Amino acid sequence: MSELTPQLAVLFAISLVAGLVFVRASIFVSHKLDILDHPDLRKAHRGPIAYLGGLGMFLTFAVGWAVLALMRPDMLVTQLPMLRTILAGATLVFLVGFWDDVRPLRAVVKLMLQMAIGAGMWWFGARIGSVSMGDEAILSLGSLVSLCITVGWYVALMNSINLVDGLDGLAGGVSFLGALSLVGVAMVSGYSHEVFIGAGLATIVAGATLGYLRYNWCPAKTFMGDGGSLLLGFLLASSSLVGSAKTPTLLALSVPLVALGLPLFESSFSFFRRAIKGQHPFKPDRRHLHHRLLDLGLDQQRVVIFLLFLTAVLGVNAIILAQSGQKLLFINVLSLVAGIVLLIENLKYLERGRQSGVISVPPPDSEPSVSTKSTSDREPAHVDQGSSRRDQ
């Protein structure tokens, strides 16, 4: 893949410029059409915020996807169906999210639409079909198992990015670093058309999100909405699946899990935490990791930088894992699980100390987090930005 570095660099530059232009244009359109997030008693921002950042990222993806196809005409002979499938899937995902932003969908309806899109991607070849621990596949997944795992992967990534979209710059930053990690993994892999498509898709995501962050870093001028967060999750899921299509190993599945570990862990932990408590799995609360850090007294920018640092560490870990191969897989995953457990236990210790008064928490030295979600069970000072303009 090293010989393709100049092409990926050009693709990144084009995506970055397109992202800057289209996201800026989306802010103008958002104000013209009054598609804005207006302040209220539950929100910390003081003026209306544009809400079409996802549209700018979708247009950036479309431009980048066309450039990617033109860069390798020889690839079109065998990969044109996959290129069309990803383009169609991304368009449908964006439309579902955009519709949800403008005219709210019920959570179950949105989930069913996501599952249908994931099933469509499986049908057209973007799937997890077999798992092996070595050079030869030792487990060929049946159609039903392959379908369930593939759909689960798409749904998990789409909702993971949506859930971490709680502070200015967080979802965009996590997506940017996760995409860079997938590019890095592809760079240490052998070349194939599938690997190039996966790396190119991740490169487009990196350029688009960096352009978006220019306008979303605190204080934000625009929010991505569900249209943006679901689109980013879909593109990252597609990049990891297509890029590992010719390496059907347990390692190929583990690398993207590590690279995108923060949003995946956050969504999984939230789902099971609510289920154990007998709550609706999609019921919003203030127990997300970024909420807990805010409640410990950290200001918004420090929380975002800390979580982005964790994402970067996971990304580097994924690249090392891709290079080291199967021999360090168990140790790598075990160390990551241990690190997550230690982080949770330390958060619990700090929270207990804060509640008992043993640990004093200084007030944050910057304004509280900006919000685009308004839910009845959140406090005004630290509101989840999320991806919606309505109560959920």
Instruction: Output the six-digit token pair for 266.
Output: 């956050």
* pTM for the whole structure: 0.81
Instruction: Output the six-digit token pair for 316.
Output: 């580097």
In a domain, 110, yes or no: yes
Sign of CA dihedral 200, 204, 209, 211: positive
**Torsion angle, CA of 259/163/207/155, rounded to 10 degrees?**
70
In a domain, 384, yes or no: no
In a domain, 385, yes or no: no
CA distance 102 to 296: 34
Query: In the chain, how many domains are there?
Result: 1
CA distance 314 to 180: 11
* 255: containing domain: 2-356
CB 226 within 8 A of CB 388: yes
In a domain, 264, yes or no: yes
CB 389 within 8 A of CB 99: no
In a domain, 372, yes or no: no
In a domain, 374, yes or no: no
3-state secondary structure at position 258: helix
In a domain, 362, yes or no: no
In a domain, 337, yes or no: yes
Instruction: Output the six-digit token pair for 202.
Output: 């991740």
- The residue type found at 108 is V
User: What pLDDT is recorded for position 365?
Assistant: 47
Say which residue the tokens 């304004």 belong to: 367
CA distance 18 to 72: 20
Which of these, 42, 10, 39, 17, lies nearest to 377 by C-alpha position? 42
Q: pLDDT tens, position by position, for the chain (392 residues)?
A: 566 788 999 999 999 999 999 999 999 999 998 888 776 544 555 678 898 999 999 999 999 999 999 988 888 878 889 999 999 999 999 999 999 988 888 989 999 999 999 999 999 988 877 765 555 555 677 789 889 989 999 998 998 888 888 788 889 999 999 899 889 888 877 777 888 999 999 999 999 999 999 999 988 899 999 999 999 999 999 998 887 655 545 556 677 777 777 777 776 666 666 666 666 555 555 556 655 666 666 677 788 888 888 888 888 877 877 776 655 666 666 666 666 666 666 555 555 555 555 455 555 444 444 444 433 333 333 334 444 443 33
Burial 293-319 (b: 16+ CB within 10 A, else e): bbbbbbbbbebbeebbebbbebbbbbb
User: What pairs with residue 222 in β-bridges?
Assistant: 50
CA distance 29 to 50: 9
CA distance 88 to 196: 19
CA distance 344 to 320: 25
